[in-house]
Chains A and B, each alone.
Chain A
Amino acid sequence: MVKNREDYVRYYIDSAKRLGIPIEPLIQSIVKTAEAAWAVDSYEVEPSDEPAEKSPRRRIR
């Protein structure tokens, strides 16, 4: 799997080429998206999707 910003950009450009669409005019958008993906994937979020403080507040109606 890709590990750094450069790998992300390369991966996104290669993937875009595989779509079979001329991508030259779209490079800026693809690179910005690759950089956003790199930032998003590099930020660690707790595996649980449930905020701890939320559960006790729930009530059965």
Chain B
Amino acid sequence: MPEPYKLTVAEASKMIKHGGLTPKDLVESLLERIKELEPKLDAWVTVDAEGALKAAKALTMEAQKGSLRSPLHGIAVGIKDIYATKALRTTMGSPIYHDNVPDRDSNVVARLREAGAIILGKTETTEFAYLDPAPTRNPWNTGYTPGGSSSGSAAAVAARMCPLAFGTQTGGSVMRPASFCGVAAMKPTHDLLCREGIYPQSWSLDHAGFMSRSVEDLKLTLEALTGVQDRSIIRKPRIGLPTSYFNEAGDEEVTRNYEETVKKLREAGGEILDIKLPDSFRFVHQAHRIIMFAEAASIHEARFRETPTLYRSHMQGEIVSGLIIPSSTYLHAQRIREKFRNEVTASMTSLDALLTPTALTPALKGLTSTGDAAFNVPWSLTGFPTVTIPSGLTDEGLPLGAQLIAGPYDEVKLLSVAAWCELALPFDAEPPLQ
């Protein structure tokens, strides 16, 4: 048997079901792994060893009696530090919340516990899930950013510190770090997962999402959280390629990898179709900025006026800019959003999914910038579900990703397409951490 920390969700779940692994063994192995690698990576704000072991023992006893709550029974999970966790410090990556200990769980965390998942600890986030970076380093090269804002979750999954971790996305904060760290991730439709207890960046743009190391793991996680079970297999997906922007705005290695990805999918039997982006696409990034800034300013206004210096520079810029956006501009941005959503929905009706690169660049050198969310922003604006899977490595050995997008609530189909693509784009590289 491999070391338990190396197991994916699906592998560990199967072994727990058949008695070949206990939740306690899994947690102990992951805690050892964290102890070994955390000094290099800074992926965790808080590791709850005591709480995780206590839960693992209880879930081990349940499993030994043949009682399994869900596919996540006994699976240890990392939680981005903007999800409230009962009796476990939740900082939002901000000194304002340095000592904040919630008295209840966020909805997603409560559901995870009910499903038998074990909360291993809280992962690093950028300040209030915006752009001011976390200290986390990329497991593929510690001189590079892991991306953000779900920085610790992506690094922890990539480094085999946990097989599953949760993040949030307002622009590209689940997809981009997953791509930079070479893991799979899903951002379901905007309101599919309840955001109660997650500190907001922007009410109408925030999404809960999760990262793991395979599409099968994403399927099992969605199943545990929503009860939707589907094992359908797609034979010949119809995949749309935008004929502008996504095929030309990325850096050279990203664009080359995208072309190679398309070639491999076509050779595997996928039906690849060109899709023209609607005219309203030209304004989606600006509309996103206006909406996100106005909503963030509304969330932070009172505290910012009292203690502006407790915010870091990107957050200060977002709040001040957001405070001066006229309501008419905010509403105009919302109308552009609706127009784009309607137009792009119409252009996707004959498709199973759209395909784009996940990020404009591979992970950037240094820790001052978490990268650019431009390829993810349109789908955060529409609220459509997205999945990213690894699609290769750069010459420097940094991961690249392929992003798949489906229409609202088409998660089951999206995951089937992603599973098909994963087979056509085998990726078995691991971060060189030993």
Interface string of B323-342 (1 = CB under 8 A from A): 11110110011011011001
Cα separation A44 to B342 with both chains bound (whole Å) = 16
Cα separation A16 to B335 with both chains bound (whole Å) = 25
Among listed B108-116, B285-293, B398-406, B424-432, interface-contacting one: B285-293
Cα separation A54 to B323 with both chains bound (whole Å) = 35
Q: Does A4 interact with chain B (Cβ within 8 Å)?
A: no
- A29 and B283: CB pair below 8 A? no
- A28 and B320: CB pair below 8 A? no
Total interface residues on B, CB under 8 Å, equals 31
**Nearest-Cβ distance from residue A45 to partner chain B, whole angstroms:** 5
Cα separation A26 to B311 with both chains bound (whole Å) = 12
- B332 and A30: CB pair below 8 A? no
**Nearest-Cβ distance from residue A35 to partner chain B, whole angstroms:** 8
- A36 and B335: CB pair below 8 A? no
Residues of B within 8 A of A23 (CB): 320
Residues of B within 8 A of A35 (CB): 286
Given contacts A36-B286, A41-B332, contact A30 B323 (CB under 8 A): no
- B320 and A43: CB pair below 8 A? no
Residues of B within 8 A of A19 (CB): 320, 323-324
Interface secondary structure of B, over-half rule: helix
Which interface residue of A25, A37, A40 has the most chain B CB atoms within 10 A? Answer: A40
- A40 and B287: CB pair below 8 A? yes
Partner pick for A49 among B285, B290, B338, CB 8 A cutoff: B338
Given contacts A32-B289, A41-B332, contact A12 B324 (CB under 8 A): yes
Residues of A within 8 A of B313 (CB): 25-26
**Nearest-Cβ distance from residue B364 to partner chain A, whole angstroms:** 18
Cα separation A12 to B321 with both chains bound (whole Å) = 8
- Which of chain A's residues 1-30 have a Cβ closer than 8 Å to chain B? 12, 15-16, 19, 21, 23, 25-26, 28-30
Residues of A within 8 A of B308 (CB): 21
Residues of B within 8 A of A46 (CB): 339
Q: Does A51 interact with chain B (Cβ within 8 Å)?
A: yes
Residues of A within 8 A of B333 (CB): 40
Given contacts A21-B308, A45-B336, A49-B335, contact A33 B321 (CB under 8 A): yes
Given contacts A40-B329, A45-B335, contact A26 B290 (CB under 8 A): no
Given contacts A36-B289, A43-B280, contact A30 B317 (CB under 8 A): yes
- A33 and B338: CB pair below 8 A? no
Q: Does B318 interact with chain A (Cβ within 8 Å)?
A: yes
Cα separation A36 to B285 with both chains bound (whole Å) = 8
Residues of A within 8 A of B283 (CB): 39-40, 43
- B320 and A40: CB pair below 8 A? no
Partner pick for B320 among A29, A41, A45, A49, CB 8 A cutoff: A29
Given contacts A16-B324, A26-B316, A26-B317, contact A40 B338 (CB under 8 A): no
Residues of A within 8 A of B328 (CB): 41
Residues of A within 8 A of B289 (CB): 32-33, 36
Given contacts A32-B289, A36-B286, A36-B289, contact A26 B336 (CB under 8 A): no
Given contacts A12-B324, A19-B324, contact A29 B318 (CB under 8 A): yes
Residues of A within 8 A of B280 (CB): 43
Cα separation A35 to B321 with both chains bound (whole Å) = 11
- A33 and B336: CB pair below 8 A? no
Residues of A within 8 A of B320 (CB): 16, 19, 21, 23, 26, 29-30
- A40 and B321: CB pair below 8 A? no
Closest chain A residue, CB of each to CB of B324: A15
Closest chain A residue, CB of each to CB of B291: A40
Which 10 pairs from chain A and chain B are nearest by CB? A29-B317, A36-B286, A33-B321, A15-B324, A39-B286, A36-B289, A45-B335, A26-B317, A37-B329, A51-B342
A26-B313, A37-B325 are known; give 11 further A-B pairs, CB within 8 A: A15-B324, A21-B308, A25-B317, A30-B320, A30-B321, A33-B325, A37-B286, A40-B333, A41-B328, A43-B336, A49-B338
